[in-house]
Structure 1
Amino acid sequence: MGKANFTEDFKREAVVQITERGYPVAAVAARLGISKYSLYEWKKRYAKPASAHYDDQAAEVRRLKRELQRVTEERDIPKKSGRVLRQGCKVKYAFIAEHRSIFSIRAMCRCLSVQPSGFYAWLKDPLSRRAKEDRRQTELIRTAWRDSSKVYGYRKLHDDLMDMGENCCPNRVARLARLARLADIRAQIGYKRRPGACGGKSSLAVDNTLDRRFDVEAPDKAWVTDITYIRTHEGFAYLAVVLDLFSRRIVGWSMQARQTTNVALQALLAAVWRRKPKGRVLVHSDQGSQFTSMEWTSFLKHHDLEPSMSRRGNCHDNAVAESFFNLLKRERIRRKVYRTRDEARADVFDYIEMFYNPTRKHARNGMLSPAEFERQHKMQAEGV
């Protein structure tokens, strides 16, 4: 009988009966019909050492731990990212950056359906080109808003940006200004009044020659004047202004402690002295006692000024002067507390002479200040 040849798989299975199932060598040799010597030789060749067996078990334990950790992360990540799953990539990247000390980055990317490479690229430069442009223009808006004494809304801020050479639309400026409200960028908005009657009796002495024709074709053709009060710790201060209807420029103003004819006359005298009108000028006012006095009438007559008066109790007939006082109080007076009348006078000077006349934009003037509007009109008239 020749020597039997056994396959490698047979030999390994024979060894397994000894090493893993615990059968004695003699019993296995007898059942398989081989010698114990051959079986010992196979055991030396194919049986794994105990250390290797333990290594396999340790490797399996490590694999199971990794799998358990992965499953646990995939279970816990959606709990914390419930509001992020439907958001864009940037929101998901921000969530990953915030929780990378808790979960692995790759596991979060897998659960949130984003690429790790995209997250690392965002981590180096989280702002897109549009976000960088938004940040830059927001700083320009903030600067323009501060230069306007913190009163401009988005329309005038848009015009400022256009003057700077920026290419943007009003809606974009409105969006950036709305986002920047965290920095307290907002327009100064006045108070709404209840609509009332618009009637009133006409003056017996002077006609309403202006008749709400507030748009004139040239400077020094029609002026409007009115008086308002400013509260201080010393008491009231009374401000009289004279406004040119052509450019809405304050051409004369006066401020005194009493509401007398003299405060109105000083404002009109300042207007005549500053403008030196060459023709007859229409001067419109309400029917206050200051504008119906003999001193006022005599002054108008001697300086070739034509009077005009609103109907009694009808502020709409002198709406331009009322509108200026509304701007003054909304943008400056109501934001300050004046200790003395001199302090109030200095602030009114700053508003009228340093801001309103030379720089404040007017929608009616095509977003030009009163002074710039008159300058351009003069250049056109001279053919420059």
Structure 2
Amino acid sequence: MFSYADKLRAVELYFKYGKKASRVVQELGYPSTRQLRRWARIIQAGGVLPESVPRKPRYTSEQKRAAVEHYLNHGCCQAFTRRSLGYPSDWLLNRWLDELHPGKRRLISVVQNHHAPFDTEVKRQAVRELCTRSESAREVAQKVGVRREVLYKWKNELIGDEAYRSMRKNKDPSFQEERDTLLDEVARLQQQIRRQQMELDILKKAEELIKKDPGISVQSLTNREKTQVADAFRNTCSLTELLSILQLARSSYFYHRAALFAADKYAEVRTVLVEVFNSNYRCYGYRRLHAMLRYEGMRLSEKVVRRLMAEEQLVVSRSRRRRYSSYCGEIGPAPDNLLARDFTAGAPNQKWLTDITEFQLPSGKVWLSPVVDCFDGKVVSWSVGTRLDAELANTMLDGAISTLKPGERPVIHSDRGGHYRWPGWLTRVNAAGLIRSMSRKGCSPDNAACEGFFGRLKTEMYYGREWSGITLDSFMLHLDAYIRWYNERRIKLSLGAVSPAMYRQQLGIR
């Protein structure tokens, strides 16, 4: 079932994940937790995993030949052979007969059918066919699997000879009329059963093809969906019968069939849509994708973009995670909240926002400390590290201060975390002439614009992705690349569907 390399890979992940078998099975999809632990015990004991286990035959060739010879030499009775030897089953014995003595089983089965027991209902049905037959009695007997004499014996036991002759020779018109009426009723019931079976098959096919919920009816299907179902049954049923069951006009069927097989006029749009979605961290909704398509010269309505996204299964992943808090308690007087939740600015470097967020990975933790400009949401400076210390915040602040022009003294707003009250931070703020502003205690909406940046970052780059096997250094490179893409390429509808860098370039700001 599994190759030797697959087994070694599973055992390596088992020890790597701290002997958590369920996690390995969830990631690889194989094997069972019990089988994985057994492989691990073999490896720990210094053994070698078996590549494959040959299946041992249940019966030897001598036992096979002995059973066949006993069957042929003792009246060709399967039950007697099975009771005498204790093996095999009837199916296995028949297979051995076909293998060692081809053609014997067919001749023997005909003889055994003569002695096979028949239920009373089977006898009644056979006699009924004998009395109303249109072919010879020998042909009726062959269908049942008995001799002609046995068939007539059943007839004498059940109805007698006199009743049989009256049924066969009765030429009374009323009898013939009643017989024809019954035959017509049987044909009508068979047609009704066939129609109901077709309706059931159609509904099952609709659930499979169109992904409809169980319990649907034919009336709930659209004409295009009915056309798809009808095409699936064209090889087994007539078109007239299918359209009658589906309650679909013939003209509507051919109209929708031509539309289904016509060339997709959105084929090029689909390709560009998927490429834009995948190249932008799979985070763009239909509004941003609609704006990007307009840049490409493709003018479509937002409804068409939403429909194409649904057909191509372009879904933005969403998740909620616990947020990191850097609040360490009141260690000194805090400045007033100067922004008062007004995160708008008329020019760059007037209002800055900062905070720290945490990323939990299988290999450890990473922290990000950015400075966000309220003018256009650009990340002015950022620092990424594996330690939550003063250097993380101070390095970010030094990078932001280096971008200021002479005379610029922005307000830098933060929460009440201890990173923004340490002496190193305060010294840098005072030396650059920055104006401090802090949120109220435990009130994250006071820094909503920065929190929104963290939410977009984690939704688009972090959540919904598999980070197992990624080192901390590699993740920090991913994070740095995302922020650069966020500044230079990610479009914002509030800026007119352009990125912060493009927006500043349009305004002539450097």
1:340 equivalent in structure 2: 471
Does residue 157 of the first structure (1) align with residue 157 of the second (2)? no
Q: Which moved more, 1:213-222 or 1:73-82?
A: 73-82
CA contact (8 A) 2:492 2:499 kept: yes
Give per-residue Cα distances to partners, 1:295-347, cap 9 Å, x unaligned. Answer: 11111122222221112222111111111112222222232426432122111
Tell me how far apart the structure 2 counterparts of residues 350 and 169 of structure 1 sit (CA, whole Å).
Answer: 32
Distance 1:312 1:277, change over 3 A: farther
Return closer, same or farther for 1:120/1:289 CA change in 2, 3 Å cut-off.
Answer: closer
CA contact (8 A) 2:334 2:416 kept: no
User: Is contact 2:243-2:249 (8 Å) kept?
Assistant: yes
Q: Distance in 1 between matches of 2:343 and 2:420?
A: 20
For each residue in 1:26-57, what CA deviation from the matched residue of structure 2 results, as whole angstroms up to 9, or x when unmatched? Answer: xxxxxxxxxxxxxxxxxxxxxxxxxxxxxxxx
Separation in 1, partners of 2:297, 2:421:
51
TM-score with structure 1 setting the length: 0.67
How far apart, CA to CA, are the structure 1 residues paired with 2:199 and 2:494? 52
SS at structure 1 position matched to 2:413: strand
- Correspondence 1:296 to 2:296: no
CA 1:193–1:322 in structure 2 vs 1: closer, same or farther (change >3 Å)? same
Aligned residues: 302
Question: One-letter code of the match for 1:188?
Answer: S
Going from structure 1 to structure 2, the CA distance change for 1:137 and 1:293 (only over 3 Å counts) comes to same
Structure 1 pair 228–283 and aligned structure 2 pair: CA distance change class (3 A):
same
- Counterparts of 2:334 and 2:223 in 1: how far apart (Å)? 75
Whole-angstrom distance in 2 between the partners of 1:108 and 1:336: 48
Identity %: 27
Of 328, 341, 358, which aligns to 2:457?
328
Q: State the 1:247 CA deviation.
A: 0.9
1:99-138 residue pairs with structure 2 within 5 A?
A: 99-105=233-239, 108=242, 126-127=260-261, 132-138=264-270
- Cα distance in 1 for partners of 2:222, 2:454 equals 49
Alignment correspondent of 1:98: 232
Can you list the C-alpha shifts for 1:63-92, whole angstroms capped at 9, x where unaligned? xxxxxx9x9889845752575577555344
Tell me how large the CA RMSD over aligned residues is: 3.6
- Aligned in 2, Cα 1:128/1:269: closer, same or farther, shift over 3 Å? same
> How many Å apart are 1:240 and its aligned residue?
0.9
- 2-side partners of 1:364 and 1:190: how far apart? 24
The answer to whether 1:272 aligns with 2:401 is yes
Corresponding residue for residue 492 of structure 2 = 362
Cα separation, 1, equivalents of 2:491 and 2:372: 16
- Contact map agreement 1:203 1:309 (CA 8 A) in 2: no
1:257 matched to 2:386: yes
Contact 1:202 1:208 in 2 (8 A): no
Deviation at 1:246, TM superposition (A): 0.5
Q: C-alpha separation between the residues in 1 aligned to 2:367 and 2:228? A: 58
CA deviations on 1:320-379 (whole Å, 9 max, x unpaired) are 1111112222222232426432122111111101x2111222233233222122222227
1:203 and 1:364 mapped to 2: Cα distance?
38
- Correspondence 1:140 to 2:269: no
Give the unaligned 5+ runs of structure 2.
Answer: 1-186, 201-216, 324-328
Q: Is the 8 A contact 1:361 1:367 kept in 2?
A: yes
Distance 1:284 1:88, change over 3 A: closer
Alpha carbons of structure 1 residues 235 and 75: separation in structure 2 relative to 1, 3 Å: closer
Structure 2 residue 481 is the aligned partner of structure 1 residue 350: yes
In structure 2, relative to structure 1, the CA distance for the partners of 1:125 and 1:188 (3 Å cut) is closer
Alignment of 1:1-384 (within 5 A): 76=194, 79-81=197-199, 83-84=217-218, 87-105=221-239, 108=242, 126-127=260-261, 132-181=264-313, 185-191=314-320, 204-276=333-405, 278-334=407-463, 335-337=465-467, 339-353=470-484, 355-378=485-508
SS at match of 1:126: helix
Partner of 1:219, secondary structure, is coil
Write the distance in 1 (CA, Å) between the matches of 2:302 and 2:346.
29
